[in-house]
Amino acid sequence: MRYRLVLGAAIWLGCVGPALAAPTPEQTAQAALTEAPVWDGHNDVPEQLRDRRKDVLDGFDFRDTTHTAAPKLVMPWGKGVGAMQTDLTRLHKGHVGAQFWSVYVSAALPEPQAVQATLEQIDVLKRLVARYPAEMRYCDTSACVTEAWKTHQIASLIGIEGGHSIGGSLGVLRQMYALGARYMTLAHFRNNAWADSATDVPAHGGLTPFGKDVVREMQRIGMLVDLSHVSEGTMMAALDVAKAPVMFSHSSARGIDAHPRNVPDGVLDRLKANGGLVMANDVPDYISEAVRAYAVADKAEAARDDANHIGDPAAAAADHAAWTAAHPAPHATVAQLADHIDYMVKRIGIDHVGVGGDFDGGADNVDGFADVSAYPALFTELARRGYAKADLEKIASGNMLRVLRGAETYAAAHRGDPPIETPTVF
3-state SS assignment for residue 359:
strand
To the query of whether residue 188 is one of the catalytic residues in this protein, the response is yes
To the query of whether residue 164 is one of the catalytic residues in this protein, the response is no
Vertex 326, ends 324 and 332: CA angle to 5°? 65
- Of 95, 164, 188, 259, which is the active-site residue? 188
How are beta strands 70-75 and 96-102 bridged, if at all?
Answer: unpaired
Cα distance between residue 108 and residue 141, in whole Å: 31
How far is CA 133 from its chain centroid?
24
To the query of whether residue 92 is one of the catalytic residues in this protein, the response is no
To the query of whether residue 358 is one of the catalytic residues in this protein, the response is yes
Q: Which of 339, 291, 402 is nearest to 39 (CA)?
A: 402
Helices then strands, each counted (H, E), the chain: 17, 11
- Of 95, 164, 204, 229, which is the active-site residue? 229
With helix as H, strand as E and coil as C, how does 166-186 read? HCCCHHHHHHHHHCCEEEEEC
To the query of whether residue 44 is one of the catalytic residues in this protein, the response is yes
Q: Which of 325, 228, 238 is nearest to 283 (CA)?
A: 228
- Of 42, 164, 340, 352, which is the active-site residue? 42
- Of 47, 51, 161, 360, which is the active-site residue? 161
- Of 164, 204, 250, 259, which is the active-site residue? 250
To the query of whether residue 393 is one of the catalytic residues in this protein, the response is no
- Of 44, 196, 257, 391, which is the active-site residue? 44
Burial of 202 (0-12, 13-18, 19+ CB in 10 A): middle
Asked if residues 344 and 253 have their Cβ atoms less than 8 Å apart, the reply is: yes
To the query of whether residue 301 is one of the catalytic residues in this protein, the response is no
Q: Which residues belong to the active site?
A: 42, 44, 161, 188, 229, 250, 358
